[in-house]
Amino acid sequence: MTVSALPAPGAPRDATLPAPVERVLDNGLRVVAFSQRNLPLIAAQVVVRRGAAAEREDEAGLSALVAALLMQGTTVRGATDVAAAADALGARLDAASGFDASQLSVSATTPAFPYAFALLDEVLRRPAFAPREVERVRTKSISDLALTYANPGLVARLVAQRVAYGGAPYGHPVAGTIATLEALGRDRVAWFHERFYRPDDAVLVIGGDLSVDDAFALAERELGSWRAAGAAAEVAPDAPIPPPRSQVVIVDKPDAGRTALIAGRVSIARRSPDYYAATVAAAVLHGYSGRINQEIRVKRGLSYGAGATLSARRMPGLFTASTLIDHTRAAEATDVTLAVIRSLVDAPATDDDLVSRKATVTGAFYRAIETIDGITGSLAEHALYDVPLAELAAYARRVQAVDAAAVRDFAARAMVPDDFVVLVGDASKFAAEIARTHAGVRVIPSAQLDLGSPALELRSAADVRG
């Protein structure tokens, strides 16, 4: 063994994950249980398979409001008493919603868990939705939007959703808009909860320091009596996702410190057989040594950082590459970003290149499953998207099996062609330059921007004043 040279890595080792076991309760609730007894901790997550994608356009923000209000009091205890009960149990209790689902999660030490799980049941099934709390959460959500709108990176993401999806689900903001939040009240909150929070359209994942039999018994004891309020929820057929189209949308925000840039397109659903190739393809672009950061930051110093994300969902989700740049270099960054995405086909990664990129994917996965909350979340995601649970144990092998041809092939189909570009910044410094080399450039003054509209712009000058 020589001390002077960096040693080579050893052979990678695989993880042994606890085997999940499934059962469906009489009320239709799908229960996934696992046992992992290295520490006295148990976690559970109830995933209701409806979230913001089930909202009407004019009620954007409703599912988020419902999730936030679950934590603000039940029919038997007020908001502070819910917090006090969780504290007394040393439990963590949280609620959240996204496009595809709404979820409640809890974790606690083994002796406290049965009580913490009963608290989750109470919060899930008996929310008070007290008018005072509805008003308080709504007011806070509206003031949070002011912070969002001041941030060019967050605005660019919301604009990108609209550009990609228009009026289809995934187009509107999950957090709503000031107008939609102002129109929402207790009745609609209760309606959403009654209609969509139901056992026959939900999954419970529960695991940690207990046997799977005990997990099922606990699930039955607390949630076995959960009944849906009526017939299965009917959701209006989704508006079709518009086909990807090359376009440049600029939001002129002269007060932005820097310009936020996002390029991408609608790409892939979570259940797609291409999921692993897509994940590796995104990793070729993402990370410090990923191509986007190398070109934008390391070679050109255009930005402190740049990256790529892939959000695979029930329906095809977005692939995006993004960065923050000086206004005067936004045109250059646009061309560099698009060229980097195209390089997935023009200068495809070799199998050798993929070794380190795949390692970033599997490394992040192994860190995620170090905790029972992480395992619970990963199983919940598999269950939500009807991916076989056995795939979780095979995750690293599936990633390793992706080869250069698969990455190039996927990129050529669903990442490279027809990318949109969204820029949010001081358009006077870059819009003309971009218009010289790109067709179909649209500039929206930020005062005219309406994220509540599929077309993104306020309809009339009268609306602007409102």
- Which residues between 96 and 125 bind another protein (CB under 8 A)? 108-112, 115, 118-119, 122, 125
Q: Which amino acid is at 14?
A: D
Choices 238-246, 369-377, 384-392, 439-447 (CB under 8 A): range interacting with another protein: 369-377
Per CB under 8 A, contacts with another protein among 332-361 are 356, 359-361
Choice between 15 and 401, CB closer to another protein? 15
Residue 446 lies near another protein (rule: CB under 8 A): no
Token code pair at residue 328: 């005067």
- Contact stretch for another protein (CB under 8 A) within 154-162, 254-262, 282-290, 341-349: 282-290
Does residue 24 interact with another protein by CB under 8 A?
A: no
Q: Give the residue, chosen from 29, 31, 32, 41, that forms a contact with another protein under the rule CB under 8 A.
A: 41
Residue 56 binding another protein, by CB under 8 A? no
Instruction: Note whether 47 and 203 are within 8 A (CB).
Output: yes
* Interaction between residue 9 and another protein (CB under 8 A): yes
CB of residue 217 to another protein, shortest distance in Å: 16
The window from 82-90, 257-265, 274-282, 330-338 that contacts another protein (CB under 8 A) reads 82-90
Q: For residues 275 and 294, what is the distance between their CA atoms, to the nearest angstrom?
A: 25
Single out the residue of 19, 24, 26, 84 in contact with another protein (rule: CB under 8 A): 84
Q: Which range binds another protein by CB under 8 A, 222-230, 234-242, 265-273, 419-427?
A: 222-230
Question: Could you say whether residue 305 binds another protein (CB under 8 A)?
Answer: no
CB of 313 to another protein, least distance (A): 24
Q: Binding segment for another protein among 155-163, 225-233, 385-393, 422-430 (CB under 8 A)?
A: 225-233
Name every residue whose Cβ is closer than 8 Å to that of residue 400 and which is 6 or more positions away in sequence: 358, 362
258: Cβ–Cβ under 8 A, 6 or more apart, which residues? 152, 324, 325, 326, 327, 425
- Residue 241 CB, shortest distance to another protein, in Å, is 32
Tell whether residue 211 is a contact of another protein (CB under 8 A): no
Choose which of 225, 328, 350, 428 interacts with another protein (CB under 8 A).
225
Distance between CA 250 and CA 445 in Å, rounded? 8
Question: Which of 267, 303, 323, 362 is close enough to bind another protein by CB under 8 A?
Answer: 362
Instruction: Based on the shown chain and the rule CB under 8 A, indicate whether residue 20 belongs to the binding site for another protein.
Output: no
Residue from 4, 352, 439, 466 binding another protein (CB under 8 A)? 4
How many other β-carbons are positioned within 10 Å of the β-carbon of residue 294?
A: 16
Count of residues in contact with another protein, rule CB under 8 A: 62
Site for another protein in 226-245 (CB under 8 A): 227, 229
What tokens were used for 378?
A: 């990963």
**Contact window for another protein (CB under 8 A) among 34-42, 240-248, 301-309, 313-321:** 34-42
78 binds another protein (CB under 8 A): no
Q: Is 207 in the site for another protein (CB under 8 A)?
A: no
CA pair distance 286, 323, nearest whole angstrom: 11
Rounded distance between C-alpha atoms, residue 318 and residue 343, angstroms: 19
Binding footprint of another protein on the chain (CB under 8 A): 1, 3-4, 6-16, 38-41, 75-77, 80, 83-91, 108-112, 115, 118-119, 122, 125-126, 194, 225, 227, 229, 287-289, 356, 359-364, 366-367, 369-372
